[in-house]
């Protein structure tokens, strides 16, 4: 009886130890981009808040503060809204390659708006337009195009998010051009049908990007005098983070 109890105690302790190792391997930190191309009006701050609410400590990173030490004990990279072309031209080829390696080796990537543009295989200004001459992260095998082409200000869009209608903040975000979908899962679409939120694997890592702003605070809505029928969407941003760090959803 004692041997039997000891046997199950050992199994229990091994399970706890294994879970601890898995958590440690996942990393305690989120890298949040705060450099050129990240908007100054709260984009990187809101991204950091989502990381903290999802249970991660935050390190900020950009082309000028870059170091290999930044990647120690890191679970994911979060790229906020802003100007994707500016961020793409500011970061060097070597830095982009390092980010791709980080994800391929098992890291996560979450992108909001500009973070979706820059994660794609290429960026268009408008439907059928030529690609912008910038090197993107190429973590998603899809092209991104501004949706719709001529809208400048922020709006609240009704979105089909996994079959449920949600209202989300939008400000100059893209849609994804999909021809072959087998390697990418569409999570949300605009009411017109174009994909706005997608996710996929990249090597051993995971990528989850959206042309929307689920991380948008109430102050953004207030500034543009927007009515949001279902309120803040932080839960969706947190779910994106949880998925790329393999915590469910």
What span, in angstroms and rounded, lies between the C-alpha atoms of 142 and 112?
A: 16
pTM for the whole structure: 0.89
Note the pLDDT tens digit of each residue in 18-50.
333 333 346 999 999 999 999 988 999 999 999
Torsion of CA 179, 180, 185, 186, to 10 degrees: 20
Contact 3, 32 (CB under 8 A): no
Please state the rounded mean pLDDT for residues 54-70: 97
pLDDT band, residue 112 (cuts 50/70/90)? very high
Could you read off the pLDDT of 151-177 as tens digits, one per residue? 668 999 999 999 999 999 999 999 999
Which runs of E-coded beta strand occur in the chain? 29-33, 57-61, 74-79, 108-112, 122-124, 143-146, 155-161, 164-170, 174-177, 185-190, 195-202, 205-210
**Whole-number Å distance between alpha carbons of 213 and 201:** 22
Q: Is the pLDDT of residue 3 over 80?
A: no
Phi, psi of 141 (to 5 degrees): -80, 45
Residues in a beta bridge with 170: 155
The Cα–Cα gap between 60 and 32 comes to 5
The angle formed by the CA atoms of residues 98, 122 and 154, to the nearest 5 degrees, is: 105
The per-residue pLDDT for range 127-142, each reduced to its tens digit, is 889 998 999 999 999 9
Are 187 and 198 in contact by the 8 Å Cβ rule? The answer is yes
All domains of the chain in start order, with CATH: 28-244 (3.40.50.880)
Q: What are the tens digits of pLDDT across the range 188-246?
A: 999 999 999 999 999 999 999 999 999 999 999 999 999 999 999 999 999 999 999 99
Closest CA to 115 of 136, 143, 98, 131: 136
Q: Give CA separation, 114 vs 202, 209, 218, in Å.
A: 19, 10, 20
CB 216, CB 50: distance < 8 Å: no
- Do the Cβ atoms of 159 and 166 come closer than 8 Å? yes
Q: Rounded to whole angstroms, how far apart are CA atoms 151 and 59? A: 33
């Amino acid at each position: 009886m004692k041997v039997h109890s000891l046997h199950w105690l050992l199994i229990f302790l091994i399970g706890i130890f294994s879970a601890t190792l898995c958590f440690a391997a996942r990393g305690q930190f989120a890298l949040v981009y705060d450099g050129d191309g990240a908007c100054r009006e709260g984009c990187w701050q809101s991204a950091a808040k989502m990381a903290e609410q999802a249970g991660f400590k935050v390190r900020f990173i950009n082309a000028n503060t870059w170091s290999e030490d930044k990647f120690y004990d890191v679970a994911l990279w979060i790229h906020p809204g802003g100007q994707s072309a500016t961020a793409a031209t500011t970061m060097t080829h070597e830095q982009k390659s390092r980010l791709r390696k980080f994800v391929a080796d098992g890291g996560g990537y979450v992108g909001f708006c500009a973070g979706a543009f820059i994660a794609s295989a290429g960026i268009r200004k408008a439907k059928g337009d030529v690609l912008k001459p910038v090197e993107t992260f190429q973590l998603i095998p899809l092209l991104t195009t501004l949706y719709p082409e001529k809208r400048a200000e922020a709006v609240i869009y009704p979105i089909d998010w996994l079959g449920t209608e949600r209202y989300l903040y939008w400000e100059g975000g893209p849609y994804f051009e999909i021809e072959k979908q087998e390697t990418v899962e569409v999570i949300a679409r605009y009411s017109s049908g174009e994909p706005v939120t997608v996710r996929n694997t990249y090597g051993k890592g995971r990528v989850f990007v959206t042309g929307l702003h689920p991380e948008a605070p109430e102050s953004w809505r207030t500034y543009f005098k927007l009515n949001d029928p279902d309120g803040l969407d932080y839960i969706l941003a947190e779910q994106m983070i949880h998925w790329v760090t393999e915590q469910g959803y």
